[in-house]
Structure 1
């Protein structure tokens, strides 16, 4: 009999355990459903937050891209202007020896220079209208390696010409502020 009692007690305990287990499972299900609802709400909030962050990132990328494009456009326009202003540089460099020949011919006495002078003036006006500027009045000025090329040095005729330009062998020219040809000069030492 004690065996039967023990068995019934064990079965009763098993039944109570199973009832308690069912209650625990129901509680867990209810809690988990509540958590799911909370997670769904949190998921919606985090999704909107992530969309807002992504929106800000895209706006930032757009602004940066727009500013880079604007800088590119300005730089390209500036380069085009520089290219246009100096496009004729090689042609002008080839014409400069003709100007030099004209100037040398004017120094020779006894030539009929009237026709040559007209041609020279017309050519120099055309070149100056394109931005060519001669480097004039260099004698007595301080030597500057950015604009002048020293051919030689001679003893200075006076103390105030030491380190300065004494003579110009070949005239220098500038095109739109850039040196086309350096002036070849003699410096006093």
Structure 2
């Protein structure tokens, strides 16, 4: 009887040991699976940080998009302005070219109007009968009429009575003559004319050295 009781006690003790071991393992597993609140908070913060980064990136993209759109609008405005300025300049160029052509035509017409009476007088002189003296007087009157036309047009004869001036005179001959001062005009072969400061034709002269 005692032996049986001892065996039962031993078996109970073994069972209790096994239960203790199982309990201990279970507790260890529970400790392993236990969640650390600080670790949860850190993960949440990471998620929040990631969300904030994405929002910042979206904000940056929106700002860049707005800036690009703004610059695009400015470029389009400048292109439109450039096209309008180019068109206006082209119209101005055509208009001024036409005006210059008209001014030149009018100027030529004014000159021709003044010269035509001279031509008429020369034609009448050729057809007229008379002596050489009469013909000479007719030519002299025609020359005076031409000089009057030049005066109306603002054209004047270049003075060739003094010192040689390369801006007004063209020397085609040089002579050694004590009767003339150095670099003075000795003879005029062809009269020169100017209008204001514009030389129409240089006086062709002989110059004394």
TM-score range, shorter chain: 0.5 to 0.7
Give the helix-richer structure, 1 or 2: 2
Aligned partner of 1:22 in structure 2 is 44
Pick the structure with greater CA Rg.
2
2:156 is the counterpart of 1:133:
yes
**How far off its partner does 1:10 sit?**
2.7
For each residue in 1:71-125, what CA deviation from the matched residue of structure 2 results, as whole angstroms up to 9, or x when unmatched?
A: x88xx59x949x649954xx88xx8xx99xx9xxxxxxx6223222222222221
Distance 1:85 1:188 in 2: 42
For each residue in 1:141-172, what CA deviation from the matched residue of structure 2 results, as whole angstroms up to 9, or x when unmatched?
A: 2212221111111113336x111111111111
Once the two structures are superposed, the pairs formed by residues 51-62 of structure 1 within 5 Å of their partners are none
2:169 is the counterpart of 1:169:
no
Q: RMSD value over aligned CA atoms?
A: 4.8
Distance 1:17 1:125 in 2: 115
Aligned partner of 1:9 in structure 2 is 31
Q: Which runs of 5+ in 2 are unaligned?
A: 1-21, 123-131
* Closer, same or farther: CA 12–154 of 1 in aligned 2, 3 Å: same
> Aligned pair count?
156
- For normalisation by structure 2, the TM-score amounts to 0.51
- For normalisation by structure 1, the TM-score amounts to 0.55
Aligned partner of 2:138 in structure 1 is 115
Once the two structures are superposed, the pairs formed by residues 1-189 of structure 1 within 5 Å of their partners are 1=22, 2-13=24-35, 17-26=39-48, 29=51, 80=100, 84=104, 88=108, 111-112=133-134, 113-136=136-159, 138-139=160-161, 141-158=162-179, 161-189=181-209
Distance 1:116 1:31 in 2: 105
> Higher relative contact order at CA 8 Å, sep ≥6: structure 1 or structure 2?
1
Distance 1:86 1:3 in 2: 121
